[in-house]
């Protein structure tokens, strides 16, 4: 269909990413801001080879799950994709997307392996970290998020996802002439919040003398460098830790290997369950140093390698396999091919794979299946409510 064409449709489903999908004269059309079952008039905004994009002209019938977005930036800001749906429905949509994606990719597992999704609360005000960007246009300073057009920076007075203490700090800074004057073109300002430390913020990179933050977790208090990774949703992160502790208690491993360890969150969870022999591998030197500190306070038998998780996997000898539980929590690109090869060639038989990307997780799941691993349990954790993203906690065994 040509750009500008108006059409009538009913939304069939909601794709990964949050756009509604309709079929018009056999053609797939993506409509942001719509929900399954909604009837509407749309207008084509972009034509692609196999699909089109469209915008809403007007609704005929709306979903009973539709709610007021409650944010003036919704639709323009790429962060939130589900502020127009109730939270329980958003979580159910994400579970459907996951299962559809697994099926389309050809990954099969026993239906009883798929658990009910977990929706941490609160669904707003949960983010302990936000990054705002500075853009100067004709002497005017814009300080906020980069919008969906990837060009405009819109002033953000209040982000509904951010911890309220971050929003309060931001409101104060907006009235501070000295702070506003210090913002240069292209400058990023990061805000982080912990219950222990309150709000800290820094321009571009954290200052070297900024002390480690203290994060409260079900595995106890952890020290985390300001610039290093930590779970952004405390309730969601706590759920992952509790799940991992349950797994450790059930399997009773004598050794836990925590790859992509950050500041040692899962290694510390294993230590809290009584495991003393722990190896953690992390490529960010500052996070690895914190993991060393956090683990040393819990067990005398922990080793932390500041390096590549794939290299660590290659070094695992056969003697490491028995009674060892491996946990991997890679970034969005999932396990590197070499790391996956080393894992499937190893004799390791117990694996927890935590992922923030269903696409790379599914790709890796297929490879794990070919390598003799069976999915024992898969749980979607709606770690990033109102956005397109979610987390997966999966447990694997070799029979």
* Residues lying near ligand SAM in the complex (CB under 6 A): 229-231, 260-262, 265-266, 281-284, 287, 308-309, 329-331
Nearer to ligand SAM, 261 or 279 (CB): 261
User: What is the token pair recorded at 68?
Assistant: 């007021």
User: What is the token pair recorded at 293?
Assistant: 């500190």
- Residue whose beta carbon is closest to ligand SAM: 262
Please give the Cα distance from 54 to 24 (Å, whole number): 11
Nearer to ligand SAM, 1 or 336 (CB): 336
356 is catalytic: yes
Q: Is 231 annotated as a binding residue?
A: yes
**148, 149, 153, 154: CA torsion to nearest 10:** -60
The set of residues, in sequence order, having a beta carbon less than 8 Å from that of 230 and lying 6+ positions away, is 128, 129, 213, 215, 224, 237, 262, 263, 265
Nearer to ligand SAM, 66 or 200 (CB): 200
Q: At what angle do helices 265-272 and 234-251 cross, to 10 degrees?
A: 50
Q: Is 282 annotated as a binding residue?
A: yes
Half-sphere exposure of 211 (CA within 13 A, CB side): 10
Residue 103 in 3-state DSSP? helix
Nearer to ligand SAM, 212 or 260 (CB): 260
Please give the Cα distance from 94 to 263 (Å, whole number): 29
The CB-of-327 to ligand SAM minimum distance in angstroms stands at 8
Phi, psi dihedrals of residue 121, rounded to the nearest 5°: -115, 150
- Sequence ranges of the binding site: 231, 260, 282, 329
- Sequence ranges of the binding site for S-adenosyl-L-methionine: 231, 260, 282, 329
């Amino acid at each position: 269909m040509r750009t500008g064409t108006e059409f009538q449709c009913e939304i069939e489903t909601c794709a990964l990413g949050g756009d509604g999908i309709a079929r018009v004269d056999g053609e797939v059309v993506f409509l942001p801001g719509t929900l399954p079952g909604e009837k509407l008039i749309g207008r084509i905004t972009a034509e692609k080879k196999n699909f089109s994009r469209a915008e809403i002209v007007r609704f005929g019938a709306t979903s009973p799950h539709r709610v007021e977005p409650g944010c003036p930036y919704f639709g323009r800001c790429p962060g939130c994709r589900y502020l127009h749906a109730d939270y329980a429905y958003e979580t159910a949509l994400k579970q459907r997307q996951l299962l559809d994606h697994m099926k389309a990719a050809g990954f099969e597992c026993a239906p009883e392996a798929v658990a009910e999704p977990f929706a941490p609360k609160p669904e707003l005000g949960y983010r302990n970290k936000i990054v705002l960007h500075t853009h100067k246009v004709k002497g005017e300073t814009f300080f906020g998020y980069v919008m969906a057009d990837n060009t405009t920076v819109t002033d953000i007075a209040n982000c509904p996802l951010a911890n309220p203490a971050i929003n309060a700090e931001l409101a104060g800074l907006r009235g501070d002439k000295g702070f506003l004057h210090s913002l240069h073109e292209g400058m990023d300002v990061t805000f982080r919040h912990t219950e222990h430390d309150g709000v800290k913020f820094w321009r571009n990179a954290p200052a070297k003398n900024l002390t480690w933050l203290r994060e409260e977790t079900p595995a106890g208090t952890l020290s985390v460098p300001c610039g290093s990774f930590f779970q952004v949703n405390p309730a969601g992160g706590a759920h992952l830790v509790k799940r991992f502790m349950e797994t450790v208690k059930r399997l009773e491993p004598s050794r836990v290997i925590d790859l992509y360890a950050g500041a040692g969150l899962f290694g510390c969870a294993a230590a809290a369950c009584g495991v003393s022999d722990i190896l953690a591998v992390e490529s960010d030197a500052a996070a690895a140093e914190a993991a060393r500190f956090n683990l040393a306070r819990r067990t005398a038998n922990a080793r932390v390698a500041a390096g590549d998780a794939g290299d660590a996997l290659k070094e695992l000898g056969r003697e490491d396999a028995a009674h060892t539980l491996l946990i991997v929590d890679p970034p969005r690109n999932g396990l590197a091919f070499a790391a996956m090869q080393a894992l499937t060639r190893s004799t390791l038989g117990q694996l927890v794979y935590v992922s923030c990307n269903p696409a790379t997780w599914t790709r890796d799941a297929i490879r794990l299946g070919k390598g003799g691993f069976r999915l024992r349990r898969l749980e979607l954790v709606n770690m990033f409510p109102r956005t397109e993203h979610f987390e997966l906690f999966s447990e694997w065994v070799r029979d």
